[in-house]
Amino acid sequence: MLVTVAVNGREHTREVEPRLLLVHFLRDELGLTGTHWGCDTSNCGTCVVLMDGEPVKSCTVLAATAAGHQIRTVEGLEVDGRLDPVQQGFKEQHGLQCGFCTPGMMLTARALLDRRRGSDEPLTDTEIREAISGQICRCTGYTTIVRSIRWAAEWETQELANTQ
């Protein structure tokens, strides 16, 4: 079947089998290998991408279902050579070691920060931990990931204050 999926703001049309999962569509059809493929059972969360701005596990979404939705992958975080604040946070606060879980972690972080945009309440570590609780990291013990996301949140709050 012919499917057209909008990925990082661009539409891609491919002839695929209906059973093709979104993670494989991204990696094998589009060559966007930033989305990692891990447990295949919707447990580990390394395949998380954003679907209409919300994190989903792309190993448990058909490419055919993704047609008609806006997909954002880790490749879509950086804009015009400028790292997303979440990416910058992971760099500043050493949010990764092996890097396998990192794309999924960063996209979930992006969605969390987008949802909370403009909120007067400061982002708590509990909220961050809850948001990434469907994703597994075997290196960091999560501490530096939480710190990285908090760094990005604080940076964006500061940015927002500066522009107002």
Partner 1 sequence: MQVPAPFEYERAASVEHALTLLRQLGPDARILAGGHSLLPMMKLRLATPAYLIDIDGLADELGYIRVTTPPTPPTPPASGRPAAGAPTPEIRIGAMTRHRALLESELLASRVAIFTDAERVIADPVVRNRGTIGGALCQADPAEDLSAVCAAIGAQMVIRGLDGDRVLDMGEFHRGPYQTAVQDDELLVEIRVPLRTGSGSAYEKVDRRVGDWAVAAAGASLSLDDAGVITDAGVALAAVGMSAAGAIAAAACSPVSDQRGSAEYKRHVAGVLTTRALTRAAARAGATAMKGVPA
List of residues contacting partner 1 (CB under 8 A): 1, 17-19, 21, 40-42, 45, 48, 51, 54-57, 60-62, 64-65, 68, 108, 130-131, 133-135
Smallest separation (angstroms) from partner 1 to the CB of 164: 28
The answer to whether the beta carbons of residues 89 and 26 sit under 8 Å apart is no
Smallest separation (angstroms) from partner 1 to the CB of 145: 15
**Which CB sits closer to partner 1, 18 or 122?**
18
List the strands of the sheet with 54-57, edge to edge: 10-15, 2-7, 70-72, 48-51, 54-57
The C-alpha atoms of residue 93 and residue 9 are separated, in whole angstroms, by 29
For residue 64, give every residue at least 6 positions away whose Cβ sits within 8 Å of its Cβ, in sequence order, or none: 1, 3, 16, 18, 20
**Which CB sits closer to partner 1, 56 or 74?**
56
**Which CB sits closer to partner 1, 7 or 20?**
20
Smallest separation (angstroms) from partner 1 to the CB of 60: 5
